[in-house]
Structure 1
Amino acid sequence: MNKIVPISLLFFLLGTVSLFAQAETETVLVAKDTTKLEEIDPLTPAKAAFYSAILPGLGQAYNKKYWKIPLVYGAMGTSLYFYLDSNKKYKEVRNEYKRRLEGLESDEKFERFDDDRLISAQKFYQRNRDLSALFLVAFYALNIIDANVDAHLIQFNVNEKLSLRPEIYPTDVTFRANVGLTFNYKF
């Protein structure tokens, strides 16, 4: 019985000490977010696309991506050049073939070609002309799409509170390294 009293006294003292320890008040510090969020204008992508539709490259200038303007004009200018060149050559070959069908003298440039070669040259230049026109329209559409998407991405929220980092941790059973991705968002 002598041993029971000191042990119960010890538990009583430990209980009162922990009781007094819980009575303290906690202070919580709250950090205020100092980063300002820019307002999102939902019409900005539509404006950029409209400007690029009116004048190719103007949407890129609106987005302040000036380095893309020479690429737009280079791609569209090259396509336009090949369209005009193939169209000119197609008309020359077609006119020569028509002259031969009418029985007129052939041009010096086409004297060595027979009728089959003139027909195949017409098909060749016509196909190149049509492909160049298709590329011209595709680059025009790509110009508009690029301005629109770039205007959307300018407004995309990228700050240091959003993070994606790889993490390597050992497995509990085999202690081999596992690779995983952690997505952290801090409020």
Structure 2
Amino acid sequence: MKWVNLILILFLFSIQDLYAQQNPEFLNSNYFLLESRINSEYSAEHAYRDTTDDGEFPNPKSVMFKSMMIPGWGQIVNRQIWKVPIIYGLFAGVGYYTIHLNGQYQDYRAAYYNSFPDNDDLRFGPTPGYLEGINANQLQSNRNSLRNQRDFMFVVMGLAYGLNVLDAYVFAHMRSFDVSDDLSAKTVIQPAMIADRSPGVSLRITLYNR
């Protein structure tokens, strides 16, 4: 059927090219009216599709702000509720490990401070039993290492929060893209006005879901 339409269009072109030599203004006006009619129908069809899509897919910026306020909210709006336990599991794991590192850092700081004879005020608390008798240099090295690890976990927590926002924002954009196996291509060949108001042919390829 498409080949028949193409042959008919080419046949009409051949006839109108002969007629254009005698009356070019009439030919240009006919092409202009035909092109405008086809383009208006095409625009109306896609305007209806865009209106339908706006009601179906959420606004990416709105999803982003919701994820910033409450982590996981954007994933729920995107209908990816299965990601919410992963997000909060990540937060819980990072938070627990941060608390563990901070507790060890507090112990080594107290042990290092109390390792000097002049520091007898127990400013950071008593020395834990498992740290008694350890060299002061080793206590200082471990204290600094634990402090750096704890501070880095704060950065990881911030990255996890940012990843939650980014995931919701990007997927809100990607939801409007159809990646199903039922995609088809629609080819439209139609008259068009090209350079110098000369008649020609335009080719439009549209992807749609069968």
Match of 1:141 in 2: 162
Greater mean alpha carbon deviation, residues 104-113 or residues 88-97: 104-113
Q: Give the Cα–Cα distance (whole angstroms) in 2 for the partners of residues 144 and 153 of structure 1.
A: 14
- Written as runs of structure 1 = structure 2, the 5 A alignment for 1:154-173 is 154-158=175-179, 160-162=183-185
| Cα distance in 2, alignment partners of residues 145 and 162 from structure 1 | 32
Q: In structure 1, what residue type is equivalent to 2:99? A: L
Corresponding residue for 1:116?
137
Quick check: 1:125 aligned with 2:121?
no
Distance 2:185 2:87 in 1: 33
Matches within 5 A, 1:1-187: 37=49, 38-40=52-54, 44-101=59-116, 102-104=118-120, 106-158=127-179, 160-162=183-185, 185-186=205-206
Q: Which runs of 5+ in 1 are unaligned?
A: 1-21, 23-31, 164-183
Kindly name which structure, 1 or 2, has the bigger radius of gyration based on alpha carbons: 1
Residue 40 of structure 1 contacts residue 155 of structure 1 at CA under 8 Å; is this kept in 2? no
CA distance in 2, matches of 1:128, 1:77: 17
Give the 3 Å change call, closer, same or farther, for CA 140–186 of structure 1 in structure 2: closer
User: Is the partner of 2:83 in helix, strand or coil?
Assistant: helix
- What's the offset of the Cα at 1:112? 3.3
Could you tell me how far apart the structure 1 residues matched to 2:206 and 2:162 are?
40
Residues 1:150 and 1:106: Cα distance change in structure 2 (over 3 Å):
closer
Per the normalisation by structure 1, the TM-score is 0.63
Is the alpha carbon distance of 1:132 and 1:162 closer, same or farther for their aligned partners in structure 2, counting shifts above 3 Å? farther
- The CA distance in 2 between the partners of 1:103 and 1:160, in whole Å, is 75
Distance across 2 between alignment mates of 1:66 and 1:52: 13
Which structure has the highest helix share of the two? 2
8 Å CA contact 2:71–2:87 kept in 1: the answer is: yes
The 1:106–1:88 alpha-carbon spacing in structure 2 relative to 1, beyond 3 Å, is closer
Point out where structure 2 has 5 or more consecutive residues left out of the alignment.
1-14, 16-40, 121-125, 187-203
Aligned residues: 138
| Shift in Å, 1:116 | 0.9
TM-score by length of 2: 0.56
What are the Cα deviations for residues 9-49 of structure 1, in whole angstroms up to 9, with x where unaligned? xxxxxxxxxxxxx9xxxxxxxxx999972333797111111
Identity of aligned pairs, percent?
A: 24
